[in-house]
Amino acid sequence: MNNILEYENGLKAVITYIPGVRSVAAGVWVRVGSNAENKENNGISHFTEHMMFKGTDKLSPFDIANKFESYGANVNAFTSKECTCYYFKSVDEYAENCFSLLGDIIFDSVFPPQELDKERKVIVEEINMVEDSPEDICYDEIAFATYGDRGLGKTILGPAENVLRFTGDDVREFMARYYSPQNTVIAFAGNITDKAADKLIRKYILSRYKRDYGQTRPEANEFRKRNYSERIKNFEQSNIALSFPSLPFGDKDFTVQAALNVIVGGGMSSRLFQSVREQQGLAYSVYSAPNGYSDIGTINVFLNISECNTECALTAVKKEIDLIKEKGITDEELERTKVQLKSALVFAEENVQTVMSSCGKLMLLKGELYDVDRKIAEIDAVTKEKANAFAKEVFDYSKMNAAYVGKKTDVDIMKLF
């Protein structure tokens, strides 16, 4: 069962007590990512996340890692387009020790100059690693084609030149603007009660907030239509992305979209996988995926192919999309999809870290409690008529964007659609 705690300073917490388990997952979710950045500070959210583990006034970077591991905990963090999360998973008896450490790195990190210098190099290596990954480049290119050079169109890592000049003062100023209690959600899942979670929050988090936080919201994003972006690079395989405007995260029809996505390209039995890969052998990887943010969303198709197969593979993709738009999905496909979606939800409920993530993200971005029974009811309510109507609406080529990464191609991808 999920419960929410709200505090006078605007901080929220969501707790999911799961009886019968001996572990606890906890996360500090902050509503900031590359979506909130500008050209000058692009990459600062991710840089800040890295620096949180590089020492406090009492603990060295080794001390932080050693303490978490001495409690047998898994600890990590990530930055996305809209949020940053610091989290751990531990045995229940060490949950307080680990949560205390989480509070220390959030509030007492000092960003030593020597650690800043080392971490800049680490992140530049991460940027270089992406440059060797055509799939990652394609994700960035389709975001740029869809949203431009602002908001969601910006990369999470940022350019190397920004990373190389960020200072400790830049990080502190950034945190003062965004790491406010009103912009933060604490999420717990596992063998922990509301009372125990509240005690930990009051002891290690609540009193450590200052009062001089700013409050800045990113500008609304806009979906650009019929844009194409490419990166010509001598990769052995080419990556292609197609993007259609769709639903924001948590929309009332999000489950209809999820069902349609499974049928289109969400698994090995999907139409795209069976047609483009299994029957025609035109792609190593072909799949579809929805991508919802708080104010906007897309549904995307991705392919990993040889350049010589570009036109044939895209023609095959278009044929499958057109078939769904014209003839719709079948009853058998929908029933199979409902079973898959419900199974995925149930399996996720058995993982405390997954539960923590689902609950934390939903509370942070939508202010809502996650309810697996409600989600299952929404899946059961999806009809063939709703899915078919959604397909006709969402797969609109007049609004489609595309990205290509790989060897030079003579195929006009936008013209094919």
What do you get for the CA distance between the two ends of the chain, in Å? 47
3-state secondary structure of 212: coil
Secondary structure element (H or E) that encloses residue 304, with its range: strand 297-305
Q: Round to whole Å and give the CA distance between 81 and 96.
A: 30
Residue 68 corresponds to which amino acid? Answer: F
Query: In terms of C-beta density within 10 A (0-12 exposed, 13-18 middle, 19 or more buried), how is residue 92 classed?
Result: middle
Our answer to whether residue 49 is catalytic in this structure is yes
Beta strands 285-292 and 401-406: pairing type?
unpaired
Q: Round to whole Å and give the CA distance between 148 and 274.
A: 33
Q: Phi and psi (nearest 5°) for 35?
A: -60, -30
Q: Round to whole Å and give the CA distance between 417 and 412.
A: 9
Which residue among 6, 8, 40, 49 is the active-site one? 49
Q: Round to whole Å and give the CA distance between 401 and 382.
A: 28
Q: Give CA torsion, residues 382, 81, 152, 229, to 10 deg.
A: -90
Taking alpha carbons only, the member of 227, 50, 229 closest to residue 156 is: 50
- Tokens at residue 208, please? 């450590």
Beta strands 84-91 and 74-79: pairing type?
antiparallel
Exposure class string for 368-382: b at 16+ Cβ within 10 A, else e: eebebeebbebbeeb
Contact criterion met (CB below 8 Å) for 189 and 19 = no
Name the DSSP class of 268.
T
Secondary structure element (H or E) that encloses residue 77, with its range: strand 74-79
Contact criterion met (CB below 8 Å) for 178 and 36 = yes
Taking alpha carbons only, the member of 407, 244, 258, 390 closest to residue 318 is: 244
CA 79, 156, 413: angle at the middle one, nearest 5?
A: 130
What is the set of active-site residues? 49
